[in-house]
Structure 1
Amino acid sequence: MTSSNNKIIVGSEEWCSFPALGIPAIKARVDSGAKTSSIHAFNIQTFRREGLLWVSFEVHPLQKDRRTVLRCERPVVDKRSVKSSSGISETRYVISTLIKVESETWEVELTLANRDSMGYRMLLGREAMKGRILVDPELSLCLNEPSKEQLYDWYGQPQKNKSGLKIGLLASNPDLYSNMRLMEAAEERGHEMVFLNIKYCYMKVDEQAPEVHYRGGKILNDLDAVVTRIRPSMTFYGCALARQFESMGIYTVNSSSAISQSRDKLFSLQLMLKSGIGIPTTGFAHSPMDTSDLIEMVGGAPLIVKLLEGTQGRGVVLAETKKAAESVINAFKALHANLLVQEFIKEADGKDLRCFVIDGKVVASIQRTAAPGEFRANIHQGGSASVVKITPEERRLATLSAKVLGLKVAGVDIIRSSKGPLLLEVNSSPGLEGIESATGKDIAGHIIASIEKRLKWERPVSSSVLETL
Structure 2
Amino acid sequence: MTSIDKVVVGSEEWSALPQLGIPAIKVRVDSGAKTSALHAVNITPFKKDGESWVSFEVHPLQNNGKTAVHCEAKVIDKRTVKSSSGKSEKRYVIKSVISMAEATWDVELTLTNRDSMGYRMLLGRQAMSGKLLVDPEVSFNLGELSSNVIDQFYKTHERNSTGLKIALLASNPNLYSNRRIIEAAQQHGHDIEFLNIKDCYIKLDGEKPEMHYRGGRVLNHFDAVIPRIRPSMTFYGTALTRHFEALGVYTLNTANAITQSRDKLHSLQLLINSGLPIPTTGFANSPLDTESLIEMVGGAPLIVKLLEGTQGKGVVLAETKKAAESLINAFKSLKANILVQQFIKESNGKDIRIFVVNGKVVESIMRTAAPGEFRANIHMGGTASKVKITAEEKKIAIQAAKTLGLKVAGVDIIRGSNGPLLLEVNSSPGLEGIEGVSDKDIAGSLIDAVEKGVKKKKAK
Q: TM-score range by the shorter chain?
A: 0.7 to 0.9
Q: Which residue of 2 aligns with 1:461?
A: none
Retained in 2: the 8 A contact 1:25–1:61?
Answer: no
Judging changes above 3 Å, is the alpha-carbon distance between structure 1 residues 18 and 322 closer, same or farther for their aligned structure 2 residues?
Answer: farther
Partner of 2:84: 82
Deviation at 1:77, TM superposition (A): 5.1
Which deviates more, 139-148 or 273-282?
Answer: 139-148
Paired residues of 2:69 and 2:157 also in contact (CA < 8 A): no
Q: Deviations over 1:219-264 (max 9, x none)?
A: 1122211111111001111111111111111111211110110011
State the partner residue of 1:239.
238
Distance in 1 between residues matched to 2:430 and 2:318, nearest whole Å? 27
Q: Give the CA deviation at 1:350.
A: 1.4
Q: Residue type of the partner of 2:156?
A: Q
Q: CA deviation at 1:9?
A: 2.3
Whether 1:324 and 2:323 are equivalent positions in the alignment is: yes
3-state DSSP of counterpart to 1:414: strand
Q: Residues 130 and 95 (structure 1 numbering): CA distance in 2 closer, same or farther, change over 3 Å?
A: farther
The match for 2:269 is 270
Shift of 1:99: 6.3
CA drift of 1:157 comes to 3.0
CA contact (8 A) 1:18 1:98 kept: no
Question: 1:361 Cα shift?
Answer: 0.8
Aligned equivalents of 1:285 and 1:111: distance in 2?
57
- AA at the equivalent of 1:415: I
User: Residues 100 and 164 from structure 1, CA distance in 2 versus in 1: closer, same or farther, beyond 3 angstroms?
Assistant: closer
- Distance in 2 separating the partners of 1:59 and 1:437: 21
Match of 1:86 in 2: none
- Contact 1:92/1:112, CA 8 A, preserved across alignment: no
SS of 2:173 mapped into structure 1: coil
Which deviations, in whole Å up to 9, do the C-alpha atoms of 1:397-454 show, x marking residues without a partner? 1111011011111111111112111111000111111112211322222111212112
Change (3 A) 1:90 1:454: same
TM-score normalized by the length of structure 1: 0.83
**Cα distance, 1:124 vs structure 2:** 2.5
Q: Distance in 1 between matches of 2:72 and 2:310?
A: 39
Question: Given residue 13 of structure 2, which amino acid in structure 1 is its aligned partner?
Answer: E
CA distance in 2, matches of 1:355, 1:112: 28
**Residue aligning to 2:142:** 142
Distance 1:198 1:139, change over 3 A: closer
Give the conservation status (yes or no) of the 8 Å contact 2:80–2:88.
Answer: no
8 Å contact from structure 2 (residues 91, 112) kept in 1: no
Give the 3 Å change call, closer, same or farther, for CA 159–15 of structure 1 in structure 2: closer
Q: Summarize the Cα distance change of 1:321–1:206 in structure 2 as closer, same or farther, 3 Å threshold.
A: same
- Inter-CA distance 42–185: structure 2 relative to 1 (3 Å threshold): same
> Which letter maps to 2:446?
I
Q: Find the aligned partners of 2:113 and 2:309 in 1 and give their Cα distance.
A: 30
Q: Tell me the amino acid that sits aligned with residue 14 of structure 1.
A: W
Change (3 A) 1:68 1:444: farther
In structure 2, what is the equivalent of residue 462 of structure 1? none
Q: Is the 8 A contact 2:37 2:111 kept in 1?
A: yes
Residue of structure 2 in register with 1:5 after alignment: 4
CA distance in 1, matches of 2:112, 2:299: 44
Aligned: 1:14 with 2:14: yes
Please give the per-residue CA displacement for 1:117-141, whole angstroms capped at 9, x wherever unaligned.
Answer: 4331122345643443113454626
Q: Which residue of structure 2 lines up, in the alignment, with residue 216 of structure 1?
A: 215
Indicate whether 1:281 and 2:272 are aligned: no
Structure 1 residues 295 and 457: CA distance shift in structure 2, 3 A: closer
What is the CA distance between 1:348 and its match in structure 2?
Answer: 1.3
1:283-331 CA-to-partner distances (Å, cap 9, x unmatched) read 1111222222111111111111111111111111122211222222222
Equivalent of 1:39 in 37, 40, 43: 37
Structure 1 position 29, deviation (Å): 3.4
Deviation digits for residues 171-205 of structure 1 (CA, Å, limit 9, x no counterpart): 11111111111112222222221111111111111
Q: Counterparts of 1:172 and 1:354 in 2: how far apart (Å)?
A: 23
CA distance in 2, matches of 1:233, 1:170: 14
Q: In the aligned structure 2, how far is the partner of 1:372 from the partner of 1:326?
A: 26
Structure 2 match to 1:248:
247
Unpaired segments of 5 or more residues in structure 2?
A: 46-51
Alignment equivalent of 1:60, drawn from 34, 51, 58: 58
| Secondary structure, counterpart of 1:431 in structure 2 | coil
Q: CA separation in 1, counterparts of 2:145 and 2:330?
A: 60
TM-superposed CA distance for 1:5, in Å, is 2.8
- Assess if the C-alpha contact under 8 Å between 1:16 and 1:99 holds in 2: no
| Paired AA for residue 227 in structure 1 | I
- Structure 1: runs of 5+ lacking an equivalent: 48-53, 84-88, 459-469
Aligned pairs (5 A) from 1:248-397: 248-397=247-396
